[in-house]
Amino acid sequence: MHNKSTSKLTFDGDSILVTGASTGIGRATAGLLAARGARVFLVARRREVVETAAREIREAGGIAECLAADISDRDQLDAAIDAAEAAFGPLYGLFANAGSGGRFAAAGDYDDAEFDAVLRTNLTSPFWAVKRVLPGMMARGRGTLLFTGSLASARGMANNAAYVASKHGLLGLARAIAIEAAPANVRSNCLIPGFIETPMMAAIDPAALAGLARSIPQKRMGSAEEAGEVAAFLLSEAASHVTGQSWSVDGGVLGTLAVG
């Protein structure tokens, strides 16, 4: 996004909304954005956790406000966007990071309501947010949209139909918006985290996590901060000629083939 700073990695007071902002990649990115001059509005479901995250950012010298909201509920999502605009004015960045993993089950046994709920959180809700913020961004002639995809945006995974379908769709949404918005200097990209050390991953059995780490070409999990650095870059003017892209932070998983 355009700014007056000598560094294109800084934000000069631009307002950015981050969903799923209380922990993991969302929290790391929100902190980096605020440290680099953005006014950050954090949204997450758990009030105490998101308020703590916003307070920690302010204590570190950043500008941050927050609202507890379930973004899969359209009224709550609209209220969060309203609150962000009331706090900081027009939004120049949206990091649609909140997501749901759903449940593991064979496709023939996957519950219909669960399937709908995962798609609503992971795909429909980001679309609702785009409908709200994109027209203003295009009218103002600048803005950035970033969506958190997954390895499941690029690969099929067994017993996870809703998650894979939603994350494939999210990458498609990012690319569809990119071509529509490019003439107005609005960019749209998809972050593709691999196996990242987040609270969601921490729930996995340690032995299974160790096996995952061994499968990564770099032989380690990534950190939320490493993914956050890439997210902050893509939201910044330093990525001014990057749009319609899937940007992997995965230690080499998608770009390599391990044989043997």
- Domain holding 54: CATH number? 3.40.50.720
Residue 1 lies in a domain: no
Q: State the alpha helices, DSSP H only, in the chain.
A: 24-35, 47-59, 74-88, 112-119, 125-140, 161-181, 199-202, 206-215, 224-235
β-bridge mates for residue 146, sequence order: 95, 189
CA distance linking residue 126 with residue 184, whole number of Å: 20
CA atoms within 13 A on the CB side of 214: 6
Give CA separation, 50 vs 76, 134, 211, in Å. Answer: 15, 25, 32
Residue 10 lies in a domain: no
CA 181 from chain center: how many Å?
Answer: 19
Residue 178 lies in a domain: yes
Residue 5 lies in a domain: no
Q: Do the Cβ atoms of 186 and 134 come closer than 8 Å?
A: yes
CA distance linking residue 212 with residue 135, whole number of Å: 41
The three-class DSSP label of residue 156 is coil
Residue 203, pLDDT score: 75
Residues in Cβ contact with 144 at an 8 Å cutoff, skipping those fewer than 6 apart: 1, 92, 93, 94, 186, 187, 188, 189, 234, 235, 236, 239
Tokens of 115: 């399937």
Give CA separation, 14 vs 92, 121, 147, 179, in Å. Answer: 6, 26, 18, 23
Residue 257 lies in a domain: no
The one-character DSSP state at 221 is P
Residue 258 lies in a domain: no
Considering only CA atoms, which of 16, 33, 29, 26 is closest in space to residue 49?
26
Identity of the residue numbered 41: F
Considering only CA atoms, which of 173, 15, 165 is closest in space to residue 94?
15
Q: Do the Cβ atoms of 133 and 177 come closer than 8 Å?
A: no
Is the CA virtual torsion 43, 49, 55, 58 positive or negative?
negative
CA distance linking residue 229 with residue 59, whole number of Å: 21
Residue 46 lies in a domain: yes
CA distance linking residue 94 with residue 188, whole number of Å: 10
- Is residue 163 part of the annotated active site? The answer reads yes
Number of domains in the chain: 1
**List 147, 163, 195, 247, catalytic entry:** 163
pTM over 0.85: yes
Residue 259 lies in a domain: no
Residue 7, pLDDT score: 79
Mean pLDDT in runs of 10 for the chain (260 residues)? Answer: 62 97 97 98 97 98 98 98 98 96 88 95 98 98 98 92 97 98 98 90 83 91 97 98 97 84
CA 57 from chain center: how many Å?
Answer: 18
58: domain range? 15-249
